[in-house]
Amino acid sequence: MIDIYKINNIYNLEDDKIDSIMKIINDTYTEIESDILLREQVENLDRSKLLSYAIFLGEIYNLLNENNRCDEIIFVIVKEIKKRIETGNIYDANIYNGLGHASIAMNIISKNTGNYKNFNDQVEHFLIEGMISKLNVIFNVKRCKAELYDIIMGVSGWMLYLIEFSNLSKSERLITSIQSYILELIEDKDINGHNISGWYVKSEDLPFSSDREMFSSGYFNFGISHGIAGILLALSISYNKGIKINNHKDAILKLVAEFDKTAREINNLTYWPGILTLEEYMNNKSITEAQRNSWCYGNVGILCSLQHAAKALDRIDLLNLVKDQVNKIAILRREEHLLNSTVICHGYSGLILLFEWYNKIEPSDNLINSIKNYAELLIHSYDLNPKYAFFGIDHTGKHKEEFAVLDGPMGSILTLITLIKNDSNFQKNFAFI
């Protein structure tokens, strides 16, 4: 269980809030212990839950009052991850729910326990081999599909992983190959006689039939999860790390110009579209009403990308815009965020991570107060209904069953851990904030 003397009350939360966070973490630990050691359910866990458990245990390892029991649980989970990689259950290079997810989990476990270094290295090797193999295929796909370029399944997520985890002297060539692919992807293209930005996704290339029906002419995706904010984040971070190719800065300029062009001030706050149809884009239209402050398609993810892009371009005006917007978001009333769940992807945990991220750049009482406010919301949600407190909600209003990091309960639990632990690994590695 969590040792009160090992936590760090970073934001001076009240004692009862610290007690509540510790209870939530301890309850989660007990549930995992029951699943893995008592009920012996590890083989029945879906991939998302298995990898979420691994990240959680790695994150709390150094906060526990004793580690023997946790070591037993981790051993069983790592053994299962190894088995699933060997049998092809975990096989693709996706950062979420793929080998990338497994590699990040193993990195956190290895770093905090001091064990499993060899297996951690093996998983990374399998991942990079998978990236190289898939990239060779992607280069020959002359179509713009989110699953090829985004940060969830695609090459933008790969690039961010490689920059954070890999030996850059060995992976720089792979990173520059990915950069070349992205620069070619976003080049303007002729679509039905019109010169259109290359990140336009045709209707037939949308992943779901519902999307193909809703966006019959295709769309332009501005979000961080599946759109150009994710591409911009990867290009900007790699540029700021000194990994540059020809026309790299021009590509960042091009993408930032898209956000400059589509920004709209509504109720004294700047918003960007999550998605624009082909017709809206060609007619220079944008949003006309406030958008939800989400990570996936809203200001939370976009502002993070623009911060890194502003540093790459030395744009003081853009840095000031990000600062202004984050602080304005921090003082909004809860209902003004238009959020209906606690998850990271499109809920209040994403807001907490945004405020924590920017508070490290430029501390602010407003940001700290908002962190406390939304932490209290998460705690209250758990107190009301521990079983379903942090689950995502689908478009029908029903709880989603996935025990996931981005759009499930584990993300909210890990977010609460960031409030009592200085060196959380999950935050920058999964939400990229």
Give the model confidence (pLDDT) of 32-77 as tens digits: 999 998 878 899 999 999 999 999 999 999 999 999 999 999 999 9
The one-letter code for the residue type at 4 is I
**Residue 350 belongs to a domain:** no
Residue segments in the chain with a per-residue pLDDT below the cut of 70: 392-401, 430-433
* Residue 221 counted as domain residue: yes
Same domain, yes or no, for 154 and 273? yes
81 and 174 both lie in a single domain: no
Shared-domain flag, residues 150 and 262? yes
3-state DSSP call for residue 201? Answer: strand
Strand partners, 198: none
Separation of alpha carbons 292 and 194, rounded Å: 32
In a domain, 368, yes or no: no
- Please give the sequence-ordered ranges of beta strands (E in DSSP) within 247-406, or none if there are none: 264-266, 269-271, 275-277
Is 432 domain-assigned?
Answer: yes
Tokens representing 237 are 């971070």
Considering the domain boundaries, does residue 293 fall inside one? yes
Are 206 and 324 found together in one domain?
A: yes
Would residue 190 be called left, alpha or beta, if left means φ above 0 and alpha means ψ between -120 and 50 degrees? beta
The token pair at 22 is 């510790």
Q: Which residues of 256-295 are buried (b: 16+ CB within 10 A; e: fewer)?
A: bebbeebbeeeeebbbbbbbbbbebbeeeebbeebbbbbb
Asked if 250 and 170 sit in the same domain, the reply is: yes
For residue 169, is it within any domain? Answer: yes
Return the half-sphere exposure (C-beta side, CA atoms, 13 A cut-off) of residue 194.
11
Q: Does 149 lie in the same domain as 102?
A: no
- Identify which of 423, 269, 426, 419 has the alpha carbon closest to the alpha carbon of residue 356: 419
**Residue type at 17?**
K
Whether residue 302 sits in one domain with residue 171: yes
Q: Can you give the CATH number for the domain in which 287 is found?
A: 1.50.10.20
Residue 387 is assigned to a structural domain of this protein: no
The predicted pLDDT at position 427 comes to 78
What integer pLDDT is reported at residue 433 of this predicted model? Answer: 64
Asked if 98 and 171 sit in the same domain, the reply is no
| Consecutive H or E run containing 102 | helix 99-113
**Last residue of a domain, which of 294, 322, 338?**
338
Structural domain harbouring 226: 145-338
Kindly state the greatest CA–CA separation across the chain: 67
Same domain, 235 and 332: yes
Q: Cβ–Cβ contacts within 10 Å for residue 416, how many?
A: 25
Those residues with Cβ within 8 angstroms of residue 36's Cβ, 6 or more apart along the chain or in another chain: 42, 53, 73, 76, 77
Q: Is there a contact between 354 and 301 (Cβ–Cβ < 8 Å)?
A: no
Total number of domains in the chain: 2
Residue type, 39: R
pLDDT by residue (tens digit) across 330-347?
A: 999 999 999 989 999 999
Residue 399 confidence (pLDDT): 59
Residue 371 is assigned to a structural domain of this protein: no
Q: Give the pLDDT confidence score for residue 230 in this predicted structure.
A: 97
pLDDT at residue 393, as a whole number: 65
Domain shared by 237 and 149, yes or no = yes
Query: Residue 344's pLDDT is what?
Result: 94
Confidence at residue 192, expressed as pLDDT on a 0 to 100 scale: 78
Residue appearing with tokens 């290359």: 198
Structural tokens at position 409: 């309960």
Query: Which pLDDT score is estimated for 329?
Result: 98
CA dihedral 405, 411, 415, 416 (to 10 degrees): -130
